[in-house]
Amino acid sequence: MSHSSIDTALPQAAQDLLELCGDRKFSTILADPPWQFQNRTGKVAPEHRRLSRYGTMNLAEIMSLPVEQVSADRAHLYLWVPNALLPEGIKVLEAWGFAYKSNLVWHKIRKDGGPDGRGVGFYFRNVTELVLFGVRGKDIRTLQPGRTQVNYLATRKREHSRKPDELYDIVESCSPGPFLELFARGPRKDWTVWGNQAEAYYPDWPTYSNHSQARHNTNAEAEQAEIFATTATTSAQ
Ligand SMILES: C[S@@+](CC[C@H](N)C(=O)[O-])C[C@H]1O[C@@H](n2cnc3c(N)ncnc32)[C@H](O)[C@@H]1O
């Protein structure tokens, strides 16, 4: 689709996505939407003013993104969804033209391998997060490595909302390219990335010292960040 043929009545996010994709259709899409939580006054909400990490989109806005338009006829979708919003996750997956098939579980662990209970949770202390897996079209199983890939990964948490890089290895081995990441924070080799932090991103709030951009930190900054982390960091679940 050329720039001029994009419907300017569409929401800005939809226009941006269509403009980025042009005529390209993606066989695998990974998305980590900026979900809005019901309890928006609580610190768990990512857009909470005091923490102001990033803006969020409501369910209707997320559902209306033209993901189906940029998907190949036969495609895979990996969709991160907070535990509290599982029903909404299924709705989004279906609105984007996919059928739910399975999920992957991310277990957030400490350095010593135990569950990292530093997050929040209204009913339970969440140490896991889900990636919903959906497909579109016929005969679209995972690639051969998928048949032996377990639906579980255990890694250490990094900054707020940051997801494990290990998931990209799983996606790239189990699903066909071309790959599109929606709501990406930073570029990635062999991927087309979209999102308002897709080009440049650095956490500008106090967080764990092993955050995703930590190689830019001095040791002193990292130690400082770790100190802040013990008092100020929550997780959006
Ligand atoms: C949950 S975070 C993604 C985290 C990412 N997967 C990671 O591991 O770092 C959601 C992202 O969506 C972005 N975002 C929020 N509103 C947006 C919009 N209207 N259009 C595009 N991106 C948006 C946020 O700035 C944020 O980078």
Give the pLDDT confidence of 75-126 residue by residue, as tens digits.
999 999 999 999 999 999 999 999 999 999 999 999 999 999 987 788 999 9
Torsion of CA 83, 85, 90, 92, to 10 degrees: -130
Tell me what the mean pLDDT of segment 123-145 comes to.
Answer: 96
* 214: helix, strand or coil: helix
CA–CA dist 63, 24 (Å, integer): 21
Residues 6+ positions from 218 with CB-CB distance below 8 Å: none
Quick one: pLDDT band at residue 146, thresholds 50, 70, 90?
A: very high
Q: What is the pLDDT of residue 228?
A: 32
55 lines ligand 1 (CB under 6 A): yes
The yes-or-no verdict on residue 43 having pLDDT over 90 is: no
Q: Which of 92, 95, 97, 91 is nearest to 74 (CA)?
A: 97
Q: How far apart are CA 50 and CA 198, in angstroms?
A: 23
> What's the gap in Å between 185 CA and the centre of ligand 1?
7
Pseudo-torsion of CA 205, 208, 209, 215, nearest 10°? -70
In the prediction, which pLDDT does 225 show? 35
Name 25's Cβ contacts closer than 8 Å, sequence gap at least 6. Answer: 70, 71, 72, 73, 75
Residue 5 alpha carbon to ligand 1 centre in Å: 26
Distance (angstroms) between ligand 1 centre and the Cα of 133 equals 19
Cβ(129)–Cβ(166) under 8 Å?
Answer: no
Q: Is 211 in the pocket of ligand 1 (CB under 6 A)?
A: no
- Rounded to the nearest angstrom, the distance between the alpha carbon of 179 and the centre of ligand 1 is 17
Closest CA to 47 of 60, 34, 59: 34
Instruction: Tell which one of 183, 205, 208, 211 to mutate to probe ligand 1, the residue whose CB is within 8 A of the most ligand atoms.
Output: 183
**Topology of domain 3-236, CATH:** Rossmann fold (3.40.50)
C-beta of 34 in contact with ligand 1 (< 6 A): yes
CA–centroid distance, 76 to ligand 1, in Å, is: 20
Ligand 1 contact via 54 beta carbon (within 6 Å) = yes
Distance, CA of 67 to CA of 58 (rounded, Å):
16
Q: For position 38, what pLDDT does the model report?
A: 74
| DSSP H helices in 120-215 | 166-174
Cβ proximity of 88 and 35 under 8 Å: yes
**Is the Cβ–Cβ distance between 130 and 104 less than 8 Å?**
yes
Q: Bigger pLDDT: 194 or 200?
A: 194
220-228 LR contacts (CB < 8 Å, sep 24+): none
Which numbered atom of ligand 1 lies nearest the CA of 181? 6
Q: What is the pLDDT of residue 208?
A: 72
Tell me which residue has its CA closest to atom 12 in ligand 1: 183
User: Would you say the pTM of this structure is higher than 0.95?
Assistant: no
Average pLDDT over residues 208-227: 53
Q: What's the whole-number mean pLDDT along residues 20-49?
A: 81
Does 217 score more than 70 pLDDT? no
CA distance 233 to 220: 19
Would you say the CB of residue 32 lies under 6 angstroms from ligand 1? yes
pLDDT of res. 186: 92
What pLDDT, on the 0 to 100 scale, is given for residue 2?
A: 53
Ligand 1 neighbour 162 (Cβ under 6 A): yes
CA of residue 138 to ligand 1 center, whole Å? 31
95/48 Cα distance (integer angstroms)? 27
